[in-house]
């Protein structure tokens, strides 16, 4: 069982046989159409709501490719985690002799994850697949089967959102590995990179749609990539701290934490929007013919998260909970999984109704430590 999962096919620092081809926009649409015959294919589309253009998000491809397909810009509104780890899912039924919870894992192709999302999936792989932490008996079919059946067709970012900061946490606005297929938008079409054996399967039989990459295509891509890197770096200059992102040790000063938490209302939107928040709660309840156990996304910012029977709570106040969340991203995940799990996607900033900017928060608590 071990070693044959998704990890076995994914070389995050570049698959040795990583192959690059050119594909024009029309042919890409044909390719997506071919995929859609035997997969659920989700593509990024733009939505206008009340004449306001919202951040693009995933839409299921039906008979036609959606007209508002958007392969440019930055990260989509949702992370790919919803496809690997459902917000709510029945994971057990009782009495089990009568019925079993079904593992739902339809073959799915996600077109649109960005580099920050691909890094987010790495956290899932660490939590659910890592042989250092788990043995076969702990395999969780509900996540693993979805992971196995979900193909990642990532995209280079062609612009930065105001909240993007991938370059500040060791990332770049284009993935270098961890995808099955990557698309780099260029002036005349796309450079398509095959990043895994699984990606090769996706491309099988589609040689008619692609051609050789020309030197000017690569120049165009490199220019494009560099300009987005520069844009992300430029907009984050004001948040720069002296400590390298992977060496962050956040301060202990409770006043500093209270300061960054003052606008937090514990809604948990940042948890839900985050590509690497994997915590869940199990809920047992009555169901037709017996009982069921559901797994639901949870939020570490809620007061009930760590509350025990009898009312004990190891994190009774909000600053201590936001502190735990940021430490989880920068310290705990690094110490446990060897990964800083903030990927700089900026979604926590986009969704915060208290307008908390995690970059400012981080700067505040890191700086407080330096001052102390």
Binds another protein (CB under 8 A): choice among 8, 60, 240, 281? 281
Residues 6+ apart with CB under 8 A from 252: 369, 372
Is 284 a residue that touches another protein (CB under 8 A)? yes
Binding pattern to another protein, positions 112-131, x when CB under 8 A?
---------------xx---
- Within the chain, strands assigned E span 19-23, 40-45, 48-49, 52-53, 57-60, 88-94, 108-111, 150-155, 181-186, 189-194, 210-211, 280-287, 290-297
The 10 Å Cβ neighbour count of residue 341 is 24
Binding-site size, another protein (CB under 8 A): 50
Mapped onto helix, strand or coil, the DSSP state of residue 149 is: helix
Question: Residues 75, 157: contact at Cβ < 8 Å?
Answer: yes
Binds another protein (CB under 8 A): choice among 96, 216, 226, 254? 96
Binds another protein (CB under 8 A): choice among 307, 317, 360, 363? 307
Is 274 a residue that touches another protein (CB under 8 A)? no
Binds another protein (CB under 8 A): choice among 34, 241, 266, 291? 291
Binds another protein (CB under 8 A): choice among 26, 54, 162, 335? 335
183-62-184 Cα angle (round to 5): 5
Question: Residues 48, 212: contact at Cβ < 8 Å?
Answer: no
Is 88 a residue that touches another protein (CB under 8 A)? no
Q: How far apart (Å, rounded) are the C-alpha atoms in residues 193 and 195?
A: 6
242-246-251 Cα angle (round to 5): 60
Is 286 a residue that touches another protein (CB under 8 A)? yes
Nearest alpha carbon to residue 90 among 124, 159, 141: 141
Question: Which of 62, 309 has the CB closer to another protein?
Answer: 309
Question: Residues 218, 188: contact at Cβ < 8 Å?
Answer: no
Is 241 a residue that touches another protein (CB under 8 A)? no
Is 51 a residue that touches another protein (CB under 8 A)? no
Question: Which of 94, 239 has the CB closer to another protein?
Answer: 94
Minimum distance from residue 362 beta carbon to another protein (Å): 18
Question: Which of 49, 138 has the CB closer to another protein?
Answer: 138
Is 324 a residue that touches another protein (CB under 8 A)? yes
Question: Which of 22, 305 has the CB closer to another protein?
Answer: 305
- Binding region for another protein (CB under 8 A): 1, 91-92, 94-96, 101, 127-128, 133-134, 136-142, 144, 278-282, 284-286, 290-291, 293, 295, 298, 300, 305-311, 314, 324, 327-328, 331-336
């Amino acid at each position: 069982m071990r070693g044959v999962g998704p990890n076995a096919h994914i070389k995050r620092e570049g698959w040795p046989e990583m192959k690059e081809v050119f594909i024009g926009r029309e042919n890409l649409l044909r390719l997506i159409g071919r995929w859609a015959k035997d997969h659920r294919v989700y593509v990024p589309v733009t939505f206008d709501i009340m004449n306001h253009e919202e951040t693009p998000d995933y839409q299921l491809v039906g008979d036609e490719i959606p007209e508002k397909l958007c392969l440019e810009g930055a990260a989509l509104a949702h992370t790919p985690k919803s496809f690997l780890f459902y917000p709510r899912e029945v994971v057990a039924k009782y009495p089990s002799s009568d019925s079993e919870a079904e593992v739902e894992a339809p073959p799915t192709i996600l077109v649109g994850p960005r580099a920050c999302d691909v890094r987010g999936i790495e956290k899932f792989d660490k939590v659910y697949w890592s042989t250092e932490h788990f043995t076969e008996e702990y395999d969780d079919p509900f996540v693993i089967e979805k992971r196995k059946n979900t193909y990642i067709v990532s995209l280079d970012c062609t612009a930065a959102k105001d909240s993007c900061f991938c370059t500040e946490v060791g990332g770049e606005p284009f993935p270098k590995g961890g995808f099955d297929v990557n698309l780099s938008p260029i002036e005349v079409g796309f450079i398509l990179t095959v990043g895994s054996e699984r990606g090769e399967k996706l491309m099988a039989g589609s040689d008619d749609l692609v051609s050789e990459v020309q030197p000017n295509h690569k120049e165009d891509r490199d220019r494009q990539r560099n300009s987005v890197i520069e844009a992300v770096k430029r907009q984050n200059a004001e948040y720069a701290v002296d400590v390298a992102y992977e060496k962050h040790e956040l301060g202990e000063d409770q006043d500093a934490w209270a300061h960054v938490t003052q606008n937090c209302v514990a809604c948990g939107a940042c948890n839900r929007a985050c590509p690497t928040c994997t915590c869940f709660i199990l809920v047992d309840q009555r169901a037709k013919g017996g009982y069921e156990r559901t797994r639901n996304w949870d939020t570490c910012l809620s007061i009930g998260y760590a509350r025990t029977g009898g009312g004990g709570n190891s994190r009774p106040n909000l600053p201590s909970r936001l502190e735990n969340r940021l430490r989880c991203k920068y310290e705990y995940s690094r110490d446990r999984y060897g990964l800083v799990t903030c990927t700089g996607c900026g979604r926590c900033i986009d969704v915060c109704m208290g307008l908390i900017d995690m970059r400012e928060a981080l700067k505040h608590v890191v700086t407080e430590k330096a001052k102390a």
